[in-house]
């Protein structure tokens, strides 16, 4: 009954700010998702979005003309990869879980440790990364110039004499800013539609925003505060069983510039540490949005939790343990919820996931011989 | 340990005594035999390319004196090359490398260029290093070569040492077993043919660039995969107006001086019987075509070297000249000394990974 009391108390606080038409007050710290921010230096136009869609699906932006953005963020797989670790470039494997493109437009920083400041930068890093696209800008830009349709479209959209690869990344980002979902049952509920959530989902929301404390980090319209924490997610188990994964793990330590001592020693992903080189940031990853989660299994930065139930149980048990125990957040403590509460929390994710929204790949233009004096 | 010993034995065989009976144009270069043996294995390993599709040996094949038999070489997946793959025979003795001579340091740099260039092997060498560390044969071979563990710098040094042992062997010119036609051809080569003014020294090259008016190869510009690789190269080298170029500028890309346009390093004349087609862009399929080209005074180009003049050779003189050129070719390189025969390119799982230092 203590729980009921607390929820009532929270409700009393919430009621002060909720719209009067609502039968149930809405929890604090949560809102419906509005339109995504559009950077002033990359305004949206229908032509740019259309170009970006082509480029998102076109393997021309990779080293081997074989790895499109869509290769590791597959529309039919929740705009992600439904495996613990993303696909790697041929001959390699990746080392982190592929994140969905849906609603990526809202993040302030991209990638699990926030290494990219924009979708434009993310597209570039993915096209060039050794275990992702493994492309080189000069080559990718040269290839774009050999596609008559791209010459025309880049001229129309950006005024380019010849397609600029930087503009390619801008167009992709513009396309990705259309891949947003603001009409989930959760959004409808937050906008005042009391019937948008089932009773079980409402119970889940109460827990989420109340006793379970999820809202401490998973708040705001995106359901994330975009801060970085170590929850004690166990290390990726493939590192012990997969030769290619062992190669990639060492490559990342080497490429991201840790000291030799750490390169020799670490057996887990240092996460945010790679960016800050502060030991206090070891093993920390950005809080992900909880939108579209139904389609983006498995979960966590390394896909080590297979189902939403696994995730909820993980939190219910107070998180886990990894080799960066010293940085594990104290905000996660065992909750001791029963199965009903766990079911309700999972049900809430149905409401924040909305409908699956894959897109069909467009027909792609190809390189053609380039006659003299085209431009 | 058994494997280590085996490597040591093989490595020992590779050093000077194995070649004692061979006649080479120049004395063998000083190399670390174990490192050269390591380089040999690396040379045939496709894991030195980004998508594991190409080895050095893909375009430098031992049975073709380390060329590929194509006018224009293959290249990385999604690309194609705009130049002919040169022989690696005696490559360690060169003063400069690549047809435009843009590398003039050492074979370590040449290896780096080939491995990392986006349209060639497109390899992030940090990944390459970690691949090598995952292969127990390499771990042993690096140790046997005096290196603590596989590294990309060590791999390049090993490739350098392997390339240094690729020497022409037992060419009739060197053994003294030349035919009378070849001997007559030598007279033309050194005399009225004027060939020796550039094709000089034991390798028959001065390693310097000249414009001989070799015709453009239209296949570069009709194939977007080749042409886009060329654009990438020209842009990277800082050539102006690179989108509208439809000719290979040769040494100009490093000098940026107009008169050096379309000049290319004098190629070695060693191993020609193995390494057709000819010229930097493979436009000539046979030695007959090459000799006809020079007999006509080379091609047409405002910057052509003025020493190239019509020679007026009669057919028998041309035949003699070709016989001489053929006498500069020696034994096949398709032998155990130059080929890693074992198909043993595997990764091994590091079993006790958590307790093993990376």
pLDDT at residue A372, rounded to an integer: 82
Q: Do A143 and B118 touch (CB under 8 A)?
A: no
pLDDT at residue B4, rounded to an integer: 40
Say if residues A162 and B243 touch (Cβ distance below 8 Å).
yes
Structural domain boundaries, residue B153: 2-169+333-355
Entry pTM: 0.93
Q: Are residues B130 and B183 in the same domain?
A: no
Beta strands in chain A (DSSP E): 228-229, 285-286
* Contact list, B115 vs chain A (CB under 8 Å): none
- Chain B touched by A125 (CB under 8 Å): no
Q: Which two tokens stand for residue A27?
A: 């929890």
Burial of A165 (0-12, 13-18, 19+ CB in 10 A): buried
- Please check the confidence at residue B10 and state whether its pLDDT lies above 70: no
Specify if A365 maps to a domain. Answer: no
Closest by Cα among B157, B135, B160 to B146: B157
Q: Tell me which residue in A65, A243, A375 faces B134 most closely, judged by beta carbons.
A: A243
Burial of B76 (0-12, 13-18, 19+ CB in 10 A): buried
Query: What 3-state class would DSSP assign to A328?
Result: strand
pLDDT at residue A23, rounded to an integer: 63
Instruction: Provide φ and ψ at B250, rounded to 5°.
Output: 60, -135
Q: Are residues B281 and B136 in the same domain?
A: no
Specify if A187 maps to a domain. Answer: no
Query: What 3-state class would DSSP assign to B148?
Result: coil
Query: Which neighbouring-strand residues pair with A40?
Result: none
Specify if A2 maps to a domain. Answer: no
Q: Do B228 and A367 touch (CB under 8 A)?
A: yes
pLDDT at residue A250, rounded to an integer: 98
Residue with tokens 């380019």: A160
Specify if A200 maps to a domain. Answer: no
- Please check the confidence at residue B119 and state whether its pLDDT lies above 70: yes
Q: Are residues B48 and B119 in the same domain?
A: yes
- Chain B touched by A117 (CB under 8 Å): no
Q: Are residues B301 and B155 in the same domain?
A: no
- Please check the confidence at residue B7 and state whether its pLDDT lies above 60: no
Q: Are residues B266 and B287 in the same domain?
A: yes
Q: Are residues B201 and B291 in the same domain?
A: yes
Q: Are residues B237 and B112 in the same domain?
A: no
The total number of residues shown for chain A amounts to 375
- Please check the confidence at residue B19 and state whether its pLDDT lies above 80: no
Average pLDDT for chain A = 93
- Please check the confidence at residue A9 and state whether its pLDDT lies above 60: no
A251 to chain B: closest CA residue: B127
Specify if A296 maps to a domain. Answer: no
User: What CATH code is carried by the domain that includes residue B291?
Assistant: 1.10.760.10
Tell me: cis bond preceding A259? Omega within 30 of 0 counts. Answer: no
Q: Which two tokens stand for residue A147?
A: 């596609």
pLDDT at residue A16, rounded to an integer: 42
Say if residues A321 and A232 touch (Cβ distance below 8 Å).
yes
Q: What is the number of domains present in chain B?
A: 2
> How large is the average pLDDT for residues A162-174?
98
- Chain A touched by B79 (CB under 8 Å): yes
Q: Which two tokens stand for residue A120?
A: 């434009």
User: What CATH code is carried by the domain that includes residue A90?
Assistant: 1.10.760.10
Range scoring the smallest mean pLDDT among A220-224, B7-11, B327-331 = B7-11
Whole-angstrom Cα distance, residue A76 to residue A61?
Answer: 21
pLDDT at residue B21, rounded to an integer: 86
Q: Do B119 and A139 touch (CB under 8 A)?
A: yes
* Contact list, A246 vs chain B (CB under 8 Å): 134, 349-350, 353
Whole-angstrom Cα distance, residue A135 to residue A168?
Answer: 13
**Other CB atoms closer than 10 Å to residue A18's CB: what's the count?**
16
Q: What is the number of domains present in chain A?
A: 1
* Contact list, B229 vs chain A (CB under 8 Å): 139, 142
Confidence of residue B106 (pLDDT cuts 50, 70, 90): very high
Q: Are residues B180 and B164 in the same domain?
A: no
Residue with tokens 């011989």: A369
> How large is the average pLDDT for residues A133-159?
98
Q: Are residues B217 and B157 in the same domain?
A: no
* Contact list, A255 vs chain B (CB under 8 Å): 124, 126
* Contact list, B47 vs chain A (CB under 8 Å): 91
- Chain B touched by A355 (CB under 8 Å): no
Specify if A341 maps to a domain. Answer: no
> How large is the average pLDDT for residues B9-33?
71
Whole-angstrom Cα distance, residue B331 to residue A262?
Answer: 51
Average pLDDT for chain B = 94
Whole-angstrom Cα distance, residue B168 to residue B19?
Answer: 11
Specify if A121 maps to a domain. Answer: yes
Q: Which two tokens stand for residue A298?
A: 């498995």
DSSP letter for A303, please. -
Q: Which two tokens stand for residue A44?
A: 């949206």
Whole-angstrom Cα distance, residue A64 to residue B51?
Answer: 8
- Please check the confidence at residue A4 and state whether its pLDDT lies above 60: no
The total number of residues shown for chain B amounts to 358
> How large is the average pLDDT for residues B296-300?
98
Specify if A184 maps to a domain. Answer: no
- Chain B touched by A364 (CB under 8 Å): no
- Chain B touched by A189 (CB under 8 Å): no
- Chain A touched by B192 (CB under 8 Å): no
Whole-angstrom Cα distance, residue A84 to residue B96?
Answer: 49
Beta strands in B134-256 (DSSP E): 209-210
Structural domain boundaries, residue A66: 46-176
Q: Are residues B10 and B140 in the same domain?
A: yes
Q: Are residues B196 and B290 in the same domain?
A: yes
- Chain B touched by A368 (CB under 8 Å): yes
* Contact list, B236 vs chain A (CB under 8 Å): 138
Confidence of residue B14 (pLDDT cuts 50, 70, 90): very low
């Amino acid at each position: 009954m203590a729980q009921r009391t607390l929820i009532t108390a929270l409700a009393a606080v919430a009621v002060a700010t909720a719209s009067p038409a609502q039968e149930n007050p809405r929890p604090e710290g949560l809102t419906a998702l509005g339109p995504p921010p559009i950077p002033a230096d990359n305004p949206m136009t229908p032509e740019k979005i259309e170009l970006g869609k082509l480029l998102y699906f076109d393997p021309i932006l990779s080293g081997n003309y074989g790895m499109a953005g869509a290769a590791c963020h597959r529309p039919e797989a929740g705009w992600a990869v439904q495996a613990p670790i993303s696909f790697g470039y041929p001959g390699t494997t990746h080392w982190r879980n592929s994140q969905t493109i849906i609603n990526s437009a809202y993040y302030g920083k991209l990638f699990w440790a926030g290494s990219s400041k924009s979708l434009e930068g993310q597209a570039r890093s993915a096209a060039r990364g050794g275990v992702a696209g493994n492309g080189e800008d000069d080559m990718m830009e040269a290839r774009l110039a050999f596609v008559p349709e791209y010459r025309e479209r880049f001229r129309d959209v950006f005024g380019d004499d010849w397609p600029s690869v930087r503009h390619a990344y801008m167009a992709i980002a513009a396309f990705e800013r259309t891949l947003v979902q603001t009409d989930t049952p959760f959004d409808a509920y937050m906008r005042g539609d009391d019937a948008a959530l089932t009773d079980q989902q409402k119970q889940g929301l109460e827990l989420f925003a109340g006793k379970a404390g999820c809202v401490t980090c998973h708040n705001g319209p995106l359901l994330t505060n975009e801060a970085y924490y170590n929850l004690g997610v166990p290390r990726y188990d493939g590192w012990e069983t997969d030769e290619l994964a062992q190669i990639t793990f060492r490559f990342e330590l080497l490429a991201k510039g840790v000291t030799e001592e750490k390169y020799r020693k670490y057996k887990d992903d240092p996460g945010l540490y790679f960016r800050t080189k502060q030991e206090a940031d070891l093993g920390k990853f950005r809080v992900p949005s909880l939108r579209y989660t139904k389609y983006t299994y498995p979960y966590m930065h390394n896909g080590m939790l297979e189902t939403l139930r696994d995730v909820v149980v993980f939190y219910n048990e107070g998180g886990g343990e990894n080799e960066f125990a010293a940085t594990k957040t104290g905000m996660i403590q065992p909750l001791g919820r029963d199965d009903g509460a766990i079911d309700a929390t999972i049900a809430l994710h149905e409401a924040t996931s909305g409908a699956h929204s894959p897109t069909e790949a467009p027909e792609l233009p190809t390189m053609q011989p380039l006659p003299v004096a085209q431009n | 340990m058994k494997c280590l010993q085996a490597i040591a034995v093989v490595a020992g065989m590779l050093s000077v005594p194995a070649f004692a009976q061979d006649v080479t144009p120049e004395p063998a270069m000083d190399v670390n035999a174990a490192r050269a043996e390591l380089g040999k294995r690396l040379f045939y390993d496709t894991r030195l390319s980004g998508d594991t599709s190409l080895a050095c040996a893909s375009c430098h094949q031992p049975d073709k004196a380390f060329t590929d038999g194509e006018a224009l070489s293959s290249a990385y997946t999604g690309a194609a090359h705009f130049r002919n793959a040169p022989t690696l025979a005696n490559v360690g003795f060169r003063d400069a490398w690549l047809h435009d001579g843009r590398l003039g340091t050492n074979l370590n740099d040449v290896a780096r260029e080939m491995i990392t260039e986006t349209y060639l092997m497109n390899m992030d060498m940090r990944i390459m290093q970690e691949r090598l560390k995952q292969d127990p044969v390499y771990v042993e071979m690096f140790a046997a070569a005096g290196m603590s563990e596989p590294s990309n710098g060590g791999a390049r040094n090993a490739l350098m040492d392997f390339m240094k042992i690729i020497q022409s062997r037992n060419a009739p010119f060197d053994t003294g077993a030349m035919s009378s036609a070849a001997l007559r051809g030598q007279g033309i080569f050194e005399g009225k043919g004027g060939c020796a003014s550039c094709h000089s020294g034991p390798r028959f090259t001065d390693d310097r660039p000249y414009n001989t008016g070799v015709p453009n190869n239209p296949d570069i510009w009709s194939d977007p995969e080749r042409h886009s690789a060329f654009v990438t190269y020209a842009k990277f080298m800082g050539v102006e107006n690179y989108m509208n170029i439809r000719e290979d500028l040769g040494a100009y890309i490093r000098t940026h001086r107009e008169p050096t346009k379309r000049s290319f390093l004098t190629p070695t004349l060693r191993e020609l019987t193995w390494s057709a087609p000819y010229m930097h862009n493979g436009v000539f399929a046979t030695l007959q075509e090459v000799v006809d080209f020079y007999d006509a005074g080379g091609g047409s180009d405002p910057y052509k070297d003025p020493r190239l003049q019509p020679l007026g050779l009669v057919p028998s003189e041309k035949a003699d000249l070709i016989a001489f050129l053929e006498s500069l070719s020696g034994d096949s390189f398709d032998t155990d000394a130059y080929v890693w025969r074992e198909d043993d390119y595997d990764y091994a799982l590091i079993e006790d990974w958590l307790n093993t230092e990376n």
